Amino acid sequence: MDQKMIETIHRLPKVELHRHLEGCISAELLLEIARDYNVKLPSHDLNELRSLIQVQGQTSSLKEFLEKFYWVGMAFPTLEAVERVSYCVCRDCARDNIRALELRFSPVFMSLETPHSWDDLLHAVLKGARQAEKEFDIDVGFIIGISRSNGIKPALRVVDIAASYAGLGVVGIDLFGDEAAFPPELFTTAFKVAQENGLNITVHAGEGGGETNIKIAIEELGAQRIGHGIRISNDEDMMAWVRDKKIPLEICLTSNVQTQTVPDLQSHPVRKFYDYGIKISLNTDDPAISNITFSNELLLAMETFDFTLDEIKGLMLGALDQSFLEDYRKDLLRPKLEQELKAITSKESRKAGE
């Protein structure tokens, strides 16, 4: 990829919908938190810590990938630390020119080491993000995650807290974690309550489990978007069904390779989905765990699947349409984004024609 395109993609105003806050915590940030709050880590050497929390090559499964999160759980010793982590993650997204961001997190996971009250925790997360929004050109909405492995009781609590912060920075809920061991139907009750409360819903499905999970997520859990959804590529009828229902898939290329959701990057069905008319967005999932950036993932899509700059730009506007951010925020952002995206093309084509 030539240097000019790398710069263009970095500069491009971007929209990302599927990114876990916990998966954005780099070894550097974890070390800083550990130093400032006296947190004991298994190693305080940057490279050693990196090898503990970053995937090297592939893992054998989604479950093994998720084990990389273990030490990241130490990044939330106090509410001040929570606020700082949230600020740093949003700031780093803004530095990659992400202009609209949905960031998801699990209040259960963030309270494992220090049992924060969830109200306090949400306040801290929102405060950090609001500060980043003040300093940088970025809009952030939060998705509260229900962890599959925690069972139904915390799931109902997560729905409750998400509902009470809807419109106050929380834009939806998610179901994440080990899909193979905990299928979506276990959580029907919680998602019924979410639907009754008018919460926006996305569900990780068809990643560590089969295509039936995608159907259940949509029909029973009320998912308006699907995290990954890769398994529908096995089944033409399912592809047509998802396309006709206009349910967008949140695609995360490198994550899917690392979790062996696809055997290798070349086998990824992203181009097949796109050409078939399925709505998609491109995303990072867990950039610090995967050692990637959003810009690099877009370049990877261009390099490997021949997405053109115009297609990438279309995907950014598509992601904004698919976003759970409040309509008034989307309506303010859309014309600005359209104008900036247009200006970038004309500059590039002028340069190309010189």
Mind telling me the catalytic residues? 207
- Residue whose beta carbon is closest to ligand HPA: 176
**Local structure of 181: helix, strand or coil:** coil
Q: Which of 71, 87, 109, 176 binds ligand HPA (CB under 6 A)?
A: 176
Is residue 215 a contact partner of residue 237, using CB atoms and an 8 Å limit? Answer: no
Residue closer to ligand HPA (CB basis): 122 or 175: 175
Nearest to 269, CA basis, from 183, 201, 202, 211 = 211
Structural tokens at position 111: 């309270």
Structural tokens at position 330: 């989307």
Residue closer to ligand HPA (CB basis): 20 or 225: 20
Is residue 85 a contact partner of residue 76, using CB atoms and an 8 Å limit? Answer: yes
Structural tokens at position 79: 């509410």
Beta strands in the chain (DSSP E): 14-16, 98-105, 139-147, 170-176, 201-205, 225-228, 249-251, 280-282
In the shown chain, the binding pattern of residues 195 to 234 toward ligand HPA, with x for contact by CB under 6 A and - for none, equals ---------x--x---------------------------
In the shown chain, the binding pattern of residues 275 to 304 toward Zn ion, with x for contact by CB under 5 A and - for none, equals ----------x-------------------
In the shown chain, the binding pattern of residues 247 to 266 toward ligand HPA, with x for contact by CB under 6 A and - for none, equals --------x-----------
Rounded to an integer, what distance in angstroms lies between the CA atom of residue 304 and that of residue 335? 30
Is residue 16 a contact partner of residue 98, using CB atoms and an 8 Å limit? Answer: yes
* Residues 23 to 42 in contact with ligand HPA, rule: CB under 6 A: 23
Q: Does 286 bind ligand HPA (CB under 6 A)?
A: yes
Q: Does 285 bind ligand HPA (CB under 6 A)?
A: yes
Contacting residues toward ligand HPA, per CB under 6 A: 20, 23, 62, 66, 176-177, 204, 207, 255, 285-286
